[in-house]
Chains A and B, each alone.
Chain A
Amino acid sequence: MRDRLIFAGQLGFTLLVAAFLVVPVVLSISAGVTVNYFRGIQSGVTLQWVVQVWNLYAGEIGLSFLIAFATLAVTLIVGVPAAYGLHVKGGRLSRVIEEIITLPLAIPGLAIALALLLTYGGFGGFRQSWLFILTGHVVFTMPFMVRSVMAVFASVDIKTLDEGAASLGASPWTRFCNVIVPNAMPGILAGSLMVVTLSLGEFNLTWMLHTPLTKTLPVGLADSYASMRLEVASAYTLIFFIMIVPLLVAMQMFAEKGEKK
């Protein structure tokens, strides 16, 4: 009896917490497809707000995907070899490098954005282009890629595989492509998901780095929250959810698969 009561109490509490997280999302989704939110859902269901958002903000959404995939490309090309290098090299220097590239996780995005602005703000062409935002996203997401790949190297004995291939006469480059990368694939995929998800949703840096011509999805979101009617802001949020939630679910599934191993 007592155990039952404790169970019911804990379940009730957990449900309440879940409601706190889910109810606002449901409100936002319903507001995005309601003709008039103030009058409620009985005023009718519509896609007009979603269409309006698409007409107004398709550019922002497109730019966000461009930046997310460019960020992914850079973190892959730079981060995967670096993770291998750091793992194989080891020693103090590797630890220092790892420590430094992880700093952007601790330092608030606002500070990094100010630093970039104060350093490169004077280079007009660069400052005005989306590449400026790209640099911020690369700095912010790089540690996720490097650490995710390094975590795999720590669990599969990459050194033995590498040395085995080397003793067969494979060049470092061949070994990297045919031995290292295939073995690191789970970490590369998990890292990639993380990088794309974080880049698509990044606001703290991007708000400071953007110009009127380089607005991303979250920057447009902030815009719509400040200046659009609630239904439009909600429809925009709905579009964001549709893009980000599958990525989050995939990330979660990956994490669970990793745990079971």
Chain B
Amino acid sequence: MVPRRGQGHHHFMSHRNFIWICLLPLVVVTAAFFLLPMAQLLAVGAGGSRGVSAYLAIITEPRYRATLINTVVLAAATTIATLVIATIAGLFLQRHRFPGRAVLIAMLTFPLAFPGVVVGFLIILLAGRQGLIGAITAAVTGEKVVFAYSIFGLFLGYLYFSIPRVILTVMAAVQKLDIGLEEAARSLGASPWAVQRDVVLPALGPAFVASGAIAFATAMGAFGTAFTLATNIDVLPMLIYTEFTLAANFAISAALSIGLGVIAWAILALARSMSGGAVAAAG
């Protein structure tokens, strides 16, 4: 028998050891550049003049609390609006075949990974001082409507980057629906509206929870869009940024960002336990 090359090697390195060698680089990189920094962040948050109570400041300090409420309300509004829009469009696109459908789907999903800064700029082009909406309203009513730099502009920006992701999830979920259930309901005399309400929407529940949680968590932590639109908008990521860079208030900015991270993580973890799927934010 011809001896195989590598057999000696095999002798020295067992399968078990090889698995550990495979995992080692990841463990080292994660420990050095994620776990250790996060621990440091946690320590810095508690190391300021307020001590550990810095972690409560996000709720006890009126200014921070107002910003937190602002951020949560904005993220919730974004989530609800995105879910409604994506469900209507997603159901329609998955249930009908017509010329141009593929192009329409491409148009609705291509901004999937646009960075927040770019989305902010697109909102400025739409509703800013030199924006399209301003030009149209000025021509029609004589009064220029500009809202890009307000909370509504930020809402529109969040909507912009949430819609593609949620539409994709909704469409995938609709595709997996059992069309037989709907036909059964219809043959039993249910109206089209009742079929949607009692059969289709409940079946899409897990997809709503999963994609809604992603939209919410992403909106909570979105920084680029608020940064580009940057005027008088009080949201948590902007507050953390100004506390860190302008006020050099390291402890508070660390504590606030831990708070933000815990909220985003908790929402996703909750959604995952409810929907049973993999849920993660991005962007």
Minimum distance in angstroms from B45 CB to a CB of chain A:
9
Not counting A21-B107, A101-B26, a sample of 8 additional A-B residue pairs whose C-beta atoms are within 8 angstroms of each other reads: A10-B92, A97-B23, A115-B41, A118-B41, A139-B34, A169-B6, A230-B130, A234-B125
Q: Which residues of B contact A174 (CB under 8 A)?
A: 6
Minimum distance in angstroms from A112 CB to a CB of chain B:
7
Minimum distance in angstroms from A97 CB to a CB of chain B:
7
Which chain A residue has the least Cβ–Cβ distance from B267? Answer: A106
Q: Which residues of A contact B106 (CB under 8 A)?
A: 249, 252
Q: Which residues of B contact A234 (CB under 8 A)?
A: 125
B177 at the interface (CB under 8 A from A): no
* A78 pairs with B115, CB closer than 8 A: no
* B36 pairs with A119, CB closer than 8 A: yes
* B34 pairs with A79, CB closer than 8 A: no
The CA of A110 and the CA of B241, in the complex, are separated in Å by 8
* A18 pairs with B104, CB closer than 8 A: yes
The CA of A24 and the CA of B108, in the complex, are separated in Å by 13
Which residues 109-126 in A have Cβ within 8 Å of B in the complex? 109-112, 114-116, 118-120
User: Of B7, B26, B241, which contacts A79 at CB under 8 A?
Assistant: B26
The CA of A141 and the CA of B109, in the complex, are separated in Å by 21
* B26 pairs with A222, CB closer than 8 A: no
Minimum distance in angstroms from B85 CB to a CB of chain A:
6
Which residues 40-83 in A have Cβ within 8 Å of B in the complex? 74, 77-79, 81-82
Minimum distance in angstroms from A257 CB to a CB of chain B:
14
Minimum distance in angstroms from B49 CB to a CB of chain A:
17
User: Of A10, A106, A172, A251, which contacts B268 at CB under 8 A?
Assistant: A106
* A171 pairs with B13, CB closer than 8 A: yes
Minimum distance in angstroms from A155 CB to a CB of chain B:
14
Q: Which residues of A contact B117 (CB under 8 A)?
A: 203, 218, 221-222, 225
Minimum distance in angstroms from B126 CB to a CB of chain A:
5
B72 at the interface (CB under 8 A from A): no
* A17 pairs with B89, CB closer than 8 A: yes
Stretch binding the partner chain, chosen from B50-58, B139-147, B200-208, B253-261:
B253-261
